[in-house]
Amino acid sequence: MPGQMALAKAKLDRWRAYPVEMVVEEFGVTPDPWQAEALTAFAERGVQRLGLRACKGPGKTSTLAWLILNFLATRPSPKIICTSITEANLDTNLWPELDKWMSRSAFFRAAFQWTKTRVQYRADPNNWFAVARSWPKQANAEQQADALAGVHADHVMGVIDESGGVPQAIMATLEAILSSCIEGKLVQAGNPTHTTGPLYRACTLDAHLWRMITITGDPDNPRRSSRISLEWAQQQIASYGRDNPWVKVNVLGEFPDASINALLGVEEVQAAMDRHLRKDQYDWAQKRLGVDVARFGDDRTVIFPRQGMAAFRPVVLRHLRTTDIAARVAQCRRDWGSEMELIDDTGHWGHGVLDNLLAAGIPSIGINFAGKALNPRYRNRRAEMWLEGAKMIKGGGALPKMPEMIGELTEPTYTFINGVFVLEEKDQIKERLGRSPDLADAYMLTHAMPDQPGQVLAALTGRTTTLHEFDPYAVSPAQQRDYNPFEER
């Protein structure tokens, strides 16, 4: 027995010095070159902070799991606190990954127990464990700190998965665990989606404190991850260009331009509001209405008209029943000659409007903002519509001169999670604005379907494309900005 104990201790000491050997021997896999680099750096005595800046899909979650299990197995009474960008991400990615690798090892199955929130040493579960902790998305810095506080030991480790989108306050809290320990390690991994937060700071202001390993899928880089399809990477670069933010983040593993978090800038929106278009730049397209139906007492119902590159002053309504809203949409359709009516039906708030329009013989289209996007690159229809609308504003579109729209259009931020474009939640935007972004949502609704030539529906329905002959862009810019296509002329 003493001989077996000595052999076991020697094995664990070797794993502590050479974590790659633990992965090969216990899990039966050979780490990729960058994974071996990360495992080796983790074992170095002078490396207290290790970061993985990654493109999409190279296996960074597996690497985090290996590092956690190595620390659990090779330190006496260690405590590890693990978190991620969301509780759901922690529950569906990092934590199941630990279970996956433990199930491959007779040693880890025998010595440790996996639960939904802890991996603990069977002989001492109260003092020897890794724990999953989440923080409320709406929490302030103090609340975030409270959610992660309270883990202290001689051998302690903090882990952040998907750190590209995590607030800096989370890392600041984990830094505190290094203050009173014999050995402390901080490890983070994520896609470079934000130009703020722990990952960005570790690559810039705090670069001298972090050992940062960059994992790329760049077809031109000889050190690229072989797990990233070369053909896929080449296709993305050919389709969107190397400077495209999505390509930079997900293919190259690089931080995008500093404006990545803001979907639209103030200057871009103001330029669209000052833009003067010729009639031939927009009159080829069908006319459409985006209708954002009020959900609560303070929210507004907005009917937003757009024809191609030109958007016009909307109708704003308050405290109306769905029958009255439907009647007003029908009136706007008649007066302006719109060919497509897109109604926000998220949560079925607009269902009454849709029913009344359909009963009146107006085949309107209900759009669920939370529904599945047409393109799987977007998280939902809302993200898809907003990005398409932002592209038009940046690409020469014209907006009505409405200063109240500037904040609504420039406040939302976005990120990428597992390669998917995610727009900031509406409730978060509303909290900062102090109101619902109804004007912006109604405008973005007009981008729920690709633009079509106006005569297409005219030929199908027998309707003329234009009922109003007034050209708002044939007048002065001042007159143009005040144009309302629904006014009698």
pLDDT 10s digits, 12-23: 999 999 999 999
How far are the Cα atoms of 195, 300, 371 from residue 189, in angstroms, in the given order? 15, 42, 30
Domain(s) of CATH 3.30.420.240: residues in the chain: 266-481
| In contact, 11 and 21? CB cutoff 8 Å | no
Burial class from Cβ neighbours inside 10 Å (0-12, 13-18, 19+) for residue 199 reads buried
The reported pLDDT for the residue numbered 185 is 97
Best CA proximity match to 218, nearest among 36, 53, 40, 94: 53
pLDDT digits (tens, 9 = 90+) for 109-130: 999 999 999 999 999 999 999 9
Quote the CA–CA distance of 427 and 417 in Å, as a whole number: 19
* Residue environment code for 265-297, b if the CB has 16+ CB neighbours within 10 A, otherwise e: eeebbebbbebebeeebbbbbbbbbbbbbbeee
Per-residue pLDDT, 264: 85
Matching residue, tokens 């862009």: 473
- pLDDT mean over 223-243: 93
Compute the distance between CA of residue 154 and CA of residue 334 in angstroms, rounded to an integer: 75
> Is there a contact between 105 and 98 (Cβ–Cβ < 8 Å)?
no
Q: 120: phi > 0 → left, psi -120 to 50 → alpha, else beta; which?
A: beta
Sheet holding 155-161, edge to edge: 112-114, 118-121, 129-132, 79-84, 155-161, 183-190, 49-54, 211-215
* Cα 180 from Cα 382, distance rounded (Å): 46
Q: Which CATH superfamily is domain 15-258 in?
A: P-loop containing nucleotide triphosphate hydrolases (3.40.50.300)
Distance CA 237, CA 249 (A): 12
How many residues are given for the chain? 489
**What is the distance between the alpha carbons of residues 377 and 249, in angstroms, rounded to a whole number?**
13
CB neighbour class for 308 (10 Å; exposed up to 12, middle 13-18, buried from 19): buried
Q: What percent of the chain has pLDDT over 90?
A: 58
What are the b/e assignments for 37-64, b being 16+ CB within 10 Å? bbbebbbeeeeebbbbbbbbbbbbbbbb
**Proportion of the chain above pLDDT 70, given as a percent:** 88
- Report phi then psi at 291, rounded to 5: -120, 110
pLDDT at residue 465 greater than cutoff 70: no
pTM of the model: 0.59
Q: Which two tokens stand for residue 343?
A: 């109604």
Beta-strand relationship, 301-307 and 310-311:
antiparallel
Q: Which residue has the tokens 């929106």?
A: 269
Q: Where are the beta strands (DSSP E) in 256-379?
A: 287-292, 301-307, 310-311, 315-317, 340-344, 365-367
Rounded-to-integer distance, Cα 471 and Cα 479, Å:
11
pLDDT at position 480:
46
Cβ neighbours for 210, distance < 8 A, ≥ 6 positions apart: 49, 50, 51, 202, 203
Alpha carbon distance 402, 342 (integer Å)? 22
Contact between 160 and 174 (Cβ < 8 Å)? yes
Question: For residue 257, what pLDDT is reported?
Answer: 64
**SS3 of residue 236 by DSSP:** helix
What is the SS3 assignment for 165?
Answer: helix
Residue 477 has pLDDT above 60, yes or no: no
List, in order, residues 6 or more apart from 321 with CB less than 8 Å away.
352
| pLDDT of 294 above 50 | yes
Rounded CA separation 410/262 (Å): 7
pLDDT digits (tens, 9 = 90+) for 187-227: 999 999 887 789 988 888 788 899 999 999 999 999 999 99
Residue 115 has phi, psi (to 5 degrees) of -125, 180
pLDDT at 167: 87
Facing residues of 185 across strands? 157
pLDDT score, position 397: 96
Q: How confident is the model at residue 86 (pLDDT cuts 50, 70, 90)?
A: confident
In this predicted structure, the answer to whether residue 136 has a pLDDT above a threshold of 80 is: no
CATH class label, 266-481: alpha beta
Report pLDDT digits (tens) over 242-293: 988 889 899 999 987 644 467 887 778 889 998 989 988 998 999 999 999 9
Cα–Cα distance measured from residue 278 to residue 302, given in angstroms and rounded to the nearest whole number? 26
pLDDT in tens, 364-411: 999 999 999 999 889 999 999 999 999 999 999 999 988 888 888 988
Q: What is the pLDDT of residue 268?
A: 85
State residue 240's pLDDT score.
Answer: 86
Secondary structure class of 394 (helix, strand, coil): helix
On whether the CB atoms of residues 362 and 341 are closer than 8 A, the answer is: yes
Residue 401 — φ and ψ, nearest 5°? -80, 90
